[in-house]
Structure 1
Amino acid sequence: MQRLATALQIEHDASLRTLNTFGLPAVARTLVRIDSARAVRRVVDHPEYGRAPKLVLGGGSNMVFTRDVSPVVLKVEVRGRRLVEERPDAWIVEAGAGENWHDFVAWTLAQGWPGLENLALIPGTVGAAPVQNIGAYGIELKDRFESLSTVDLVTGRSVTLDARTCAFGYRDSVFKQEGFGGLAGKSVITHVRFRLPRPWQPVLGYLELERRMHETGNFAPDAQTVFGWVCDIRRGKLPDPSDVGNAGSFFKNPVVTVEQCRDIIGRDPAVVHYPMPDGSVKLAAGWLIDACGWKGKSVGRAGVYEKQALVLVNRGGASGAEVVTLARAIQESVYGRFGIRLEPEPVIV
């Protein structure tokens, strides 16, 4: 490691294998560890790295590396958790972008500030959560979002963004969008603030949570109970990245029109689908993949998880190219049978 007068923490030819949850091999020509907004500004002012292309890396839970990385990798490690404000209608809680997401959720509950329990056990960091607009069990990040702080990678200026500016969509945000107006590769999130509503009300409409209520006879669970249920459900069907390399759900659940859904139901009555408030219908991508016979199958050393077809896994020593080859084969199968094009959730690098 090299420490310059600017106090930047710089590593050359840094392995990224342990910095992505898929465990894929890749090397960063230059990696800079970012522990503050000031560190981002030092990168912007750096005579060599300031104008260089950059790749922002959080917990690596949403990255598929297919090659070595020539852009400067900014490894976000900003820490800190605090209550910003206690309002009559909400707690405003802030976390550094480098905080582990699940640990942060558990911490908010321990402090008596519920609201994030449905998002428990999602891998990754706090800073990556708004980029992906993570969601699970009836809640999306945008439902609990207050604002975030970023540093512009051209000007070094700190900016606070609200929900409207973040342009949250289904597993999408302005931070994934390129071109005019998009912020992909143009800024670094340093802190995120959440609005946890008071009084708290549980979100229990998801089928598996309803099943837990009936199994336990607990129809008025507290936040800690919901947290425990969500963790149990996720552990039962999703592999732990520390045991089996993966990036969680690999494909977005496709959204179709009522007419398209009716056509698919006509051919496959068992298709799992969910009516949406805007009149569209969300299809379960995992069901579509399973229906095409992919569950448990492999391409090289990349495979489809045996318990959940939506999850692609590293069976040991897989390359990013093998993961992408498998993903494309699945996309072709689903399109050939259902006429639906699945869109990957992770960023392919």
Structure 2
Amino acid sequence: MGGYTLIEHAPLGARNTLRVAARARLLAEVRDAAKLPELLDFPAVRGAPRLVLGEGSNLLLTGDFDGTVIAMDTRGVQVEQEGEVARIAVAAGERWDDFVRWTLGQGYAGLENLILIPGTVGAAPIQNIGAYGAEVAEFVESVEAWDTRERRVAVLDRAACAFAYRDSRFKREAGRYIVTAVRFALPRAHALRLGYAGLREELARMGVDRPAPFHVAEAVVHLRTKKLPDPAVIGNAGSFFKNPIVPAAQGEALKRAQPGLAAWPGADGHWKLSAAWLIEAAGFKGLREGDAGISNRHALVLVNHGHASGGELWALAQRVIAGVEAAFGVRLEPEPLVVGGP
């Protein structure tokens, strides 16, 4: 069919970075976003559960998916206006890391702290991906999406996207929007974000005293490679748990009780706590149950040592959540989408 391909009983093991063996009743590989309305009206798709999938780097499948998985395989990067700020439209199916490297090669600034994050461009605003002190929301001008409720193309500006920490309107209204393209506003010059722990030290180790964006990107690559396991080597979905946000009084009390706790007071009367610190302090770092485990390199990372099922991985994640809550009175939330979970 023009613009998309349908595959029945499609295996998804190679389409999620946790390498969970699961199947979709129907897989739709979409190469032309304009064909989405036709696809969604197809008899086998209409009315059935839907799951939009990029690279599966922010997903835990706890079983087979009895519906249609829509994989956005669209491509294209277009610079619409250039000057001090370039406006760049990017198809949802483009790989995020490839796009970041392209922007650096073109001399644009802003995304250097977000290099090496797995996934697609279309997934980036849904999660409002962030790393090393930066979030993608700052550089998103608008998001184009197919609105399945109103059956039309919607263009949502940054304010309408309602970005928050690892959150957005697209996540809160799950299932309504299928992101088809993202428009970025990227400057030629931008104040570098060097405040994240270890970043200045890594630049110093590299011998860089006047860093440019590409230096920061290289430093982030070094840090991520040292801290986080490679999904190509061992199945994982990156950081599995969000850093919890708690009221200031609770944060201050925890800090008094646990002086070593990594915590950051915010301007809104809340504190952000280090989930990695909480997990390690609760004794879960490096834990392994069968092939399901918590990485011994980074306590935030749930790993599949070989043939763990999605259910086994989710059971371990729930054990960690319960253990941290029992120890510290803080409930962790998963960062990836858990399909078949709560």
Q: TM-score if structure 2 supplies the norm length?
A: 0.95
Checking the alignment, whether the CA contact within 8 Å between 1:40 and 1:156 is kept in structure 2 is no
Q: How many residues align?
A: 339
In the alignment, is residue 273 of structure 1 matched against residue 248 of structure 2? no
The letter for the 2-side match of 1:86 is: E
Unaligned runs of 5+ in 1: none
Q: Per-residue CA shift, 1:231-268, capped at 9, x if unaligned?
A: 00000010111111000000000112222122112221
1:186 to 176, 198, 201: 176
Q: Per-residue CA shift, 1:91-131, capped at 9, x if unaligned?
A: 11221111111111001111111210100001111000001
Checking the alignment, whether the CA contact within 8 Å between 1:44 and 1:156 is kept in structure 2 is no
SS at match of 2:66: coil
1:206 to 188, 196, 204: 196
Checking the alignment, whether the CA contact within 8 Å between 1:44 and 1:155 is kept in structure 2 is no
Checking the alignment, whether the CA contact within 8 Å between 2:109 and 2:189 is kept in structure 1 is no
Counterpart Cα distance in 2 of 1:328 and 1:49: 32
SS at match of 1:207: coil
User: What's the % identity of the aligned pairs?
Assistant: 45
RMSD over aligned Cα atoms: 1.4
Alpha-carbon shift at residue 198 of structure 1 (Å):
4.0
1:169 to 159, 164, 171: 164
In the alignment, is residue 283 of structure 1 matched against residue 279 of structure 2? no
Unaligned runs of 5+ in 2: none
The letter for the 2-side match of 1:72 is: T
1:106 to 92, 101, 112: 101
Alpha-carbon shift at residue 157 of structure 1 (Å):
1.5
Tell me the residue number matched to 1:246.
236
Map residues 216-227 of structure 1 onto 2, 5 A cutoff: 216=206, 218-227=208-217
Checking the alignment, whether the CA contact within 8 Å between 1:127 and 1:192 is kept in structure 2 is yes
Alpha-carbon shift at residue 59 of structure 1 (Å):
0.9
Counterpart Cα distance in 2 of 1:158 and 1:289: 42
Checking the alignment, whether the CA contact within 8 Å between 2:208 and 2:215 is kept in structure 1 is no
Alpha-carbon shift at residue 60 of structure 1 (Å):
0.4
Tell me the residue number matched to 1:335.
325
Tell me the residue number matched to 1:94.
89
Which range moved further: 12-21 or 50-59? 50-59
Checking the alignment, whether the CA contact within 8 Å between 2:107 and 2:188 is kept in structure 1 is no
Alpha-carbon shift at residue 78 of structure 1 (Å):
1.0
2:142 to 137, 141, 147: 147
Q: Per-residue CA shift, 1:22-63, capped at 9, x if unaligned?
A: 000110010111112222121123233233221111110111
Q: TM-score if structure 1 supplies the norm length?
A: 0.93
The letter for the 2-side match of 1:234 is: R
Alpha-carbon shift at residue 155 of structure 1 (Å):
4.8
The letter for the 2-side match of 1:56 is: V
Map residues 2-81 of structure 1 onto 2, 5 A cutoff: 4=1, 8-81=4-77
